[in-house]
Amino acid sequence: MQSNFVDYVKIHCKSGHGGAGSASLHREKYIDKGGPDGGDGGRGGHIILRGNSNLWTLLEFKFKKHFRAEHGGRGGKSRSTGHDGEDIILNVPIGVIARGEEGEILGEITEDGQEMILKRGGKGGLGNWHFRSATRQTPRYAQPGLDGDEGWVTLELKVLADVGLVGFPNAGKSTLLSVLSAAKPKIADYAFTTLTPNLGIVEYRNHQSFIMADIPGIIEGAAEGKGLGHRFLRHIERNSTLLFLIPADADDYAKEYDILLNELKKFNPELLDKERVLAITKSDMLDDELKAEISSQLPKDIETLFISSVAHQGLTELKDALWKKLID
């Protein structure tokens, strides 16, 4: 399933041209000089993004990148309006940002069913019926339809989750997610096991729940593109609370935390405004004396817990701490 996760695509969109207006003159038996009766052209079809909460990837757009909407129909006699061009609906996951060719943000999809017009269809031309006057009773011209719009659009998916897991490779993020939720991320003891974000629903007290995201591991220099680079750092932007994970067998706990924090700051300083919790993982190997020694090395401005996903230690306290951050 991981190989099917696509979070960045470029697509080419072309909306439909507007239909031409009609320059028809009314013709009917026994009626001489019936006058102009040309109808308007129909508008061209739009290219529309629509949010769909059942989707989690942009995989569809990896194989089809060109989308062309239908042109509007020509106006007809008897003031009949041409048909509107059929719209093209592109269903995307919640959390997608659309960017134009210069990188500017065109809009974002944050709700199920939300729609956004990427490329607007051309307006239909007016028929000669609109151009009649006392001095111009039989105008024989009508407007052409306006051209549609076309260009490349970048779709960028940022995972929506309540809690984002932040840590170096092998910090225990995937293991924690697999224990707290029904998610089944790939787990192995080598770096960069997680190559794509994984989401899991964590059940809490009184039938409440929150969404947790396992973000691929950060390394020093990730904001400059090292390792998996900043491609995955953007997913952290959509998490309301960040859970930092540092393994109990780390060489320098404070240094690891500072490196993680610095990478987030270099990528987007606003990430430091998010709520944060620090968990020391794999702590089933620690006794109380070691925990006290580690605590003395850790920053005092962040709540810290000792947990073990394998031994199921400290997980209830961790969920309590995260829930408190989410509702504050």
131 is in an annotated binding site: no
121 is in an annotated binding site: no
**CA-CA distance, 227 to 38, in Å (whole number)?**
64
57 is in an annotated binding site: no
232 is in an annotated binding site: no
299 is in an annotated binding site: no
* Tokens describing residue 17: 């041209």
296 is in an annotated binding site: no
22 is in an annotated binding site: no
At residue 207, the 3 state secondary structure works out as helix
23 is in an annotated binding site: no
309 is in an annotated binding site: yes
Amino acid at 189: D
What burial class does residue 313 get, using C-beta atoms within 10 Å of its C-beta: 0-12 exposed, 13-18 middle, 19+ buried? Answer: middle
271 is in an annotated binding site: no
**CA-CA distance, 221 to 266, in Å (whole number)?**
9
194 is in an annotated binding site: yes
105 is in an annotated binding site: no
201 is in an annotated binding site: no
Find, among 315, 248, 247, 244, the residue nearest to 286 by Cα: 248
169 is in an annotated binding site: yes
5 is in an annotated binding site: no
274 is in an annotated binding site: no
DSSP state, 168?
Answer: S
308 is in an annotated binding site: yes
Contact 69, 148 (CB under 8 A): yes
54 is in an annotated binding site: no
128 is in an annotated binding site: no
* Tokens describing residue 71: 């042109």
Find, among 183, 101, 107, 63, the residue nearest to 174 by Cα: 183
What stretches of the chain adopt beta strand conformation (E)? 8-14, 47-51, 66-68, 88-92, 96-99, 105-109, 115-119, 150-157, 161-166, 198-203, 209-214, 239-247, 275-281, 303-306
174 is in an annotated binding site: yes
Contact 171, 246 (CB under 8 A): yes
What burial class does residue 208 get, using C-beta atoms within 10 Å of its C-beta: 0-12 exposed, 13-18 middle, 19+ buried? Answer: exposed
- Which uninterrupted H or E stretch holds 295? helix 288-297
284 is in an annotated binding site: yes
215 is in an annotated binding site: yes
State the binding site for Mg(2+). 174, 194
State the binding site. 167-174, 192-196, 214-217, 281-284, 308-310
State the binding site for GTP. 167-174, 192-196, 214-217, 281-284, 308-310
